[in-house]
């Protein structure tokens, strides 16, 4: 009997333990909702405007907003911001070109091409490109390309208002291939959503945006079967070996030399025989760079003292620097050293993006440059006007900071070309070969020390195009810098050159 009572007691304890433990656990708060990330919605703001171009009033629709990039299962991945301008009154878009535009960096929004040259509104600047005092203003852009093409300005992920959606890592878009694929996905989506597959299609990229454009020319064709009519490359860099000053890479020293000559000419630092005419000075500098200078650098330590002295004298002549300084630099002048040295006796530096601009460092003794005066001259005006323009005229609102040029995309993933020089020239060659209707226009600034014009010549001279395709590349040269369009005479020439190109290529 005692044994039966003990077993019964044990059974009661065993059955009670789970209930006791369950009561001991804290109760779930049914009133507190579980956090779930909210994906951004596609929001488009459409407004109507008029601009006068070449004496003709153009009525157009501006669309500012975002498109969501999704994977094939419908999962949102990234929110891409854009501003599009489409001419009103076109019943059939099949004959109306559309141009997708972006800047570079990596990390730059599309604001520079947008409010500097292509769009219907433009930052008001002095004719030589110098900023005016704040507050800054926009003005109608009588040199806009809206009369010959619709325009779509794209901000790659993490620039402008574009971001990865909650739960997605921004860094998956920060790389050569990733960037090309995401921008290409946006172009396909926009083309589909807004029914532009039957329109002549162009790309316009600046600086690293030309790297992206060259990659896109091949990616769009191979991934989506989208064949382009043309590409506008502004201040081009396709082969990064031409601009990387590294020990053992003598190419940049050769290819930067004519831009040093142009800069010294502008600041009146050349000898009288070269100072009299810019084009003559450039031709002589180019010839020296490709012959005696190239041969001397190739010889390296085999160069005789007499040859070394002769080359130093020539380099000094074409750069406006002293022969002694060229000797101390081992005949090789890096861009940052040139920027500091040319006007050192005046305690001034010259700009990188545009060497016409001059800056003031804390001292004139060392090699350190505090800032790029040509970038400082445009950053404030483009930032202020863009932020005001979005809300006041385009009626688009966001509390996010509009990332004009951000370092948040770094480190940039160079993927398969790590420990190599990135070179997308082959992508462009392949696209031009497979699509023989693809044409290229390249805009170069003589005073551009970021992507020198002679480096661009070198890249295209080594593209390996079939002779039947060589006339599909045309170039325009301008007496300004990286953003040649901030210089009004160059803006006028640029408008004429690119309009002619677009009309001939569509």
What is the distance between the alpha carbons of residues 382 and 135, in angstroms, rounded to a whole number? 11
pLDDT at position 34 is 57
Contacts for 421 with CB less than 8 Å, ≥ 6 apart: 239, 240, 241, 244
Chain CA centroid to CA 98, Å? 19
Classify the C-alpha dihedral 402-406-411-416 as positive or negative. positive
Strand, coil or helix: what is 465?
A: coil
Contacts for 86 with CB less than 8 Å, ≥ 6 apart: 60, 61, 63, 150
Which H or E element spans position 100? strand 98-102
Buried b (16+ CB within 10 A) or exposed e, 380-401: ebbbbbbeebbeeebebeeeee
Cis amide bond preceding 155, omega within 30: no
Cis amide bond preceding 83, omega within 30: no
Paired sense of beta strands 230-236 and 349-350, if any:
unpaired
Do 78 and 183 meet the contact criterion of CB atoms below 8 Å apart? Answer: no
Question: What secondary structure letter does DSSP report for 86?
Answer: E
pLDDT at position 303 is 97
Fold of 44-241+379-505: Rossmann fold (3.40.50)
What is the distance between the alpha carbons of residues 473 and 44, in angstroms, rounded to a whole number? 37
> Which residue in 142, 93, 95 sits closest to 117, CA to CA?
142
What is the distance between the alpha carbons of residues 177 and 416, in angstroms, rounded to a whole number? 9
Residue 362: CB atoms within 10 A of its CB come to: 8
Do 296 and 281 meet the contact criterion of CB atoms below 8 Å apart? Answer: no
Q: What six digits make up the tokens of 279?
A: 């084009």
What is the distance between the alpha carbons of residues 26 and 367, in angstroms, rounded to a whole number? 66
What is the distance between the alpha carbons of residues 440 and 203, in angstroms, rounded to a whole number? 10
Q: Where are the domains of the chain?
A: 44-241+379-505, 245-371
> Which residue in 101, 206, 91, 96 sits closest to 147, CA to CA?
96
Strand, coil or helix: what is 70?
A: strand
pTM equals: 0.91
Beta bridge partners of 70: 76
Classify the C-alpha dihedral 266-268-274-275 as positive or negative. positive
DSSP string, 256-270: HHHHHHHHHHHTT-S
**Which positions of the chain have pLDDT values less than 70?**
1-38
């Amino acid at each position: 009997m005692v044994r039966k009572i003990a077993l019964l007691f044990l059974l009661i304890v065993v059955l009670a333990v789970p209930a006791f433990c369950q009561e001991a656990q804290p109760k779930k708060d049914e009133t507190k909702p579980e956090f779930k990330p909210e994906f951004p919605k596609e929001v488009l703001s459409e407004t109507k405007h008029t601009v006068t171009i070449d004496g003709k009033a153009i009525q157009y629709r501006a669309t500012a907003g975002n498109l969501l990039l999704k994977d094939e299962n419908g999962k949102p991945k990234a929110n891409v911001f854009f501003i599009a301008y489409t001419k009103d009154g076109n019943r059939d878009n099949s004959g109306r070109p559309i141009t997708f535009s972006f800047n570079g960096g990596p990390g730059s929004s599309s604001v520079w091409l947008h409010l500097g040259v292509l769009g219907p509104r433009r930052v008001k600047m002095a004719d030589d490109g110098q900023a005016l005092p704040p507050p800054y203003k926009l003005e109608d852009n009588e040199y806009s390309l809206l009369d010959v093409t619709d325009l779509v300005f794209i901000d790659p992920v993490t620039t402008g208002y574009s971001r990865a959606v909650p739960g997605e890592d921004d860094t998956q878009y920060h790389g050569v291939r990733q960037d090309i694929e995401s921008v290409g996905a946006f172009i396909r989506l926009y083309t589909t959503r807004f029914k532009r597959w039957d329109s002549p299609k162009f790309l316009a990229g600046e600086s690293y945006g030309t790297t992206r454009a060259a990659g896109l020319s091949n990616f769009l064709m191979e991934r989506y079967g989208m064949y382009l009519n043309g590409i506008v490359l502004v201040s081009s860099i396709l082969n990064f070996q031409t601009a990387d000053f590294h020990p053992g890479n003598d190419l940049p020293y050769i290819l930067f030399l004519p831009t040093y000559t142009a800069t010294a000419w502008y600041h009146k630092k050349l000898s009288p025989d070269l100072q009299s005419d810019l084009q003559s000075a450039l031709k002589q500098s180019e010839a020296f760079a490709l012959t005696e200078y190239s041969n001397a650098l190739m010889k390296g330590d085999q160069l005789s003292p007499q040859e070394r002295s002769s080359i130093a004298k020539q380099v000094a002549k074409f750069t406006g620097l002293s022969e002694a300084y060229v000797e101390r630099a081992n005949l090789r002048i890096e861009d940052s050293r040139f920027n500091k040295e040319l006007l050192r006796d005046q305690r001034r530096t010259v700009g990188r993006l545009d060497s016409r601009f001059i800056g003031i460092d804390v001292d004139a003794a060392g090699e350190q440059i505090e800032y790029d005066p040509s970038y400082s001259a445009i950053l404030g005006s483009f930032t202020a006007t863009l932020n005001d323009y979005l809300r006041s005229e385009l009626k688009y609102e966001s509390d996010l900071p509009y990332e004009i040029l951000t370092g948040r995309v770094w480190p940039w993933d160079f993927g398969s070309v790590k420990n190599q020089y990135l070179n997308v020239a082959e992508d462009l060659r392949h696209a031009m070969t497979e699509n023989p209707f693809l044409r290229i226009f390249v805009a170069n600034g003589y005073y551009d020390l970021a992507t020198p014009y002679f480096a661009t010549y070198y890249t295209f001279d080594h593209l390996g195009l079939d002779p039947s395709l060589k006339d599909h590349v045309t170039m325009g040269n301008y007496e300004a810098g990286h953003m040649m369009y901030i210089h009004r005479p160059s803006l006028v020439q640029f408008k004429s050159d690119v309009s002619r190109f677009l009309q001939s290529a569509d």
